[in-house]
Amino acid sequence: MSGMVIIGGGECGGRAALALREAGYEGSVTLVGAEPHLPYERPPLSKEVLVAETAPDPRWIGTGLRYEEAGIRCITGLAAAAIDRAAKTVTLADGATLAYDRLLLATGAAPRRLAAADMAGPRVAYLRSYADALALRDHLAAGTDLAIIGAGFIGLELAASARRRGVKVTVIEAQPRILMRGVPEPIAAVVAQRHRAEGVDLRTACRIEAFAGRPDGVTITLEGGERIDAGLVVVGIGALPVTGLAEAAGLAVDNGVVVDRLLATSDPDIFAAGDCCSFPLALHGGRRVRLESWRSAQEQGALAAHNMLGTADPVSSAPWFWSDQYELSLQVAGLADGSERTVRRDLDDQAFILFHLDAGGRLVAASGIGPGNAVARDIRLAEMLIARGARPSEMELASPDVRLKALLAA
């Protein structure tokens, strides 16, 4: 029996499966995931899962009962091995086959590996799955030494969580500053200052010469000869889209599975969504992007499901990212790279927002940081202005007395 098959049991795949039923689809829906769990959210892995007194269960995207009641078949702990486009079948790792009418690839992304570190033995780890987070918990005891390679979101969230557990933390970043990708320098500076105030040894513009495994950890040798001893090294240097199935099936791949504005691949019966795909972003002139974010996985999973049923809705929302570290919340809407001017708005509670404008004065991104939810409302309003292609005046953007909601009504 054919129907809808979804490869990938993460946020995107789980949302897509449920969205098919919510849209009224009555045919067969099968969700295939390599992990032994039902779909769950990944953001807590670097936060709550690490710092809670006892390890919490994953934050599920629907319970087993919900999938069962929806008539969704969930195959867990079994990877998809191949796609036969001519026969319209998926072969699983155990040799079983699934026929499909439409297929969704929601295979996500995998941590970028660091070969030199991997050769240093079992005290080198990555954080991507619930199992990874549980393994890390066992090493995050007060007084132990943790070295994190990479000062992106994952590395810094892990550093904040480890400090809450009394772990000594060193973060090593090759770039001249932290959060080089997608976060403006003034906001990155606030984050760096907060980590240093918490006791994190934050090293930027720092190159590693070698890793050497020891029975109780790893020794990292930096350029210049300095050595750093750590009981555990976690590598967080980005992620790569999981595209092996797509490539083997002859689908177009370019920094992710290539899809159109409806999330359809070069095969009209196969769609891709979430971290694994690159798509044209209309708000940024059709520029092709690949997003690694919780909201993108959520939204694209539901959108792909609807378009698999023939709805034909294009990707239209602005990218949105967030990170919580200590009491600080960092949020970014839109894409700031390529903007021509930046306008700063200072808020209460030591919070501020940077508005990024293109050469024509169009708002293309907004980045904010502050304690708790200090910037959440204004970033959401800025996101709506970005979606409208608004061109607010720099004076209005800079003044906290001018409500962004009023600019939406203009």
Dihedral sign for Cα 259, 260, 261, 264, please. Answer: negative
- pLDDT at site 409: 81
- pLDDT at site 1: 65
Whether residue 384 is predicted with pLDDT greater than 70 in this model: the reply is yes
How far is Cα 89 from Cα 103, in angstroms, rounded to an integer? 9
* Closest to 77 measured CA to CA, from 28, 131, 127: 131
Mean pLDDT over residues 227-241, rounded? Answer: 97
Pairing of strands 257-258, 277-281: parallel
Let me know how long the chain is. Answer: 410
* Closest to 331 measured CA to CA, from 316, 348, 352: 352
How far is Cα 369 from Cα 383, in angstroms, rounded to an integer? 15
- Which long-range CB contacts under 8 A does 251-255 form with residues at least 24 apart? 254/278, 254/288, 255/288, 255/290
Alpha helices by DSSP H, listed for 115-274, are: 115-118, 130-137, 153-164, 185-197, 244-248
Most confident of 280-284, 305-309, 348-352: 305-309
- pLDDT at site 143: 87
Whether residue 231 is predicted with pLDDT greater than 80 in this model: the reply is yes
How far is Cα 354 from Cα 369, in angstroms, rounded to an integer? 9
DSSP 272-295: E-GGGEEEEEGGGTTEEE----HH
Q: Write the CB contacts of 339 (distance below 8 Å, at least 6 apart in sequence).
A: 356, 357, 358, 364, 365
Mean pLDDT over residues 272-295, rounded? Answer: 93
Structure tokens at 288: 């092709």
pTM score of the predicted model: 0.95
Whether residue 201 is predicted with pLDDT greater than 70 in this model: the reply is yes
pLDDT over 90, % of the chain? 93
How far is Cα 79 from Cα 368, in angstroms, rounded to an integer? 39
Check: CB of residue 58 under 8 Å from CB of residue 170: no
Mean pLDDT over residues 25-43, rounded? Answer: 97
Whether residue 24 is predicted with pLDDT greater than 90 in this model: the reply is yes
Convert the pLDDT of each residue in 62-114 to its tens digit: 999 999 999 999 999 999 999 999 999 999 999 999 999 999 999 999 999 99
The mean of the pLDDT values for the chain is 96
- pLDDT at site 283: 84
- pLDDT at site 213: 97
How far is Cα 346 from Cα 350, in angstroms, rounded to an integer? 8
Question: What would you report as the CA-atom Rg of the chain, rounded to the nearest whole angstrom?
Answer: 22
- pLDDT at site 284: 84
- Which long-range CB contacts under 8 A does 61-68 form with residues at least 24 apart? 61/11, 61/14, 61/15, 61/18, 62/14, 62/18, 62/38, 63/38, 64/38, 66/18, 67/17, 67/18, 67/31, 67/38
In this prediction, residue 349 has a pLDDT band, given cuts at 50, 70 and 90, of confident
Mean pLDDT over residues 119-138, rounded? Answer: 96
219 phi/psi in degrees, rounded to 5? -105, 125
Mean pLDDT over residues 375-401, rounded? Answer: 95
Structure tokens at 184: 């403006």
